[in-house]
Amino acid sequence: MSSQISPPWVYGDSVRKFLSFTLFSLLFVSLASAAQPVTELVDGTWTASFDSFSGSQKYTWELATDGEKLTGKVINENGEQQIREGFIKGNKVSWTEVVTMDGNRTRMKYEGTFKGDKLKLTRTPLDQSAQGGPGGFGGPSGFGGPDFGGGGDSATAKRSK
């Protein structure tokens, strides 16, 4: 008696189901492994320069995420501080920083979008009306004045780490 091996189509539905399940499983696993959470993309160190009335201001941000919460610190010529009120949703981020210049303090709001190694940011003073007067944050040559871009300024940060 000789034993013969039958081709797969002889087995009918069970083989088709097995092959369909296997192909679907491979497709699912490959898609799941390729998907990277968006929040991981913004984690890291970013650098940018803003042009303002007082010259070029260089900034470094060290950002980290936990769900939709964005944390980290900013480092610039005025020192180092924690960012506040940080959020991330999709590829959009926002946070605030407290800025002190000539003894005046104001909160700056940063909003932006990121893609790859670029983070496009706009910063806007939140307390400019409380800091009025020439040379102050809301004054004619302070943040919010014409030299600052009329209340907002933009820069593109690049990932450095």
pTM above 0.85, yes or no: no
Q: Which domain holds residue 110?
A: 38-159
Asked if the structure places residue 24 within a domain, the reply is no
Number of domains in the chain: 1
The pLDDT of residue 39: 52
**Could you give the CA distance from residue 15 to residue 87 in angstroms, rounded to a whole number?**
50
**Could you give the CA distance from residue 27 to residue 31 in angstroms, rounded to a whole number?**
6
Asked if the structure places residue 16 within a domain, the reply is no
**Could you give the CA distance from residue 20 to residue 76 in angstroms, rounded to a whole number?**
57
Asked if the structure places residue 152 within a domain, the reply is yes
Asked if the structure places residue 86 within a domain, the reply is yes
Asked if the structure places residue 21 within a domain, the reply is no
The pLDDT of residue 24: 72
Q: Which residue has the tokens 């000539």?
A: 102
What CATH number did the domain enclosing 72 receive?
2.40.128.120
Per-residue pLDDT of the chain (161 residues; tens, 9 = 90+): 556 666 655 556 776 777 677 777 776 666 555 554 545 588 999 998 887 777 788 889 999 998 899 999 999 887 888 999 999 998 999 999 987 767 778 888 999 998 888 999 998 888 654 444 334 444 333 433 333 334 567 888 888 87
The pLDDT of residue 55: 76
The type of residue at 66 is D
Q: Which residue has the tokens 């491979």?
A: 26
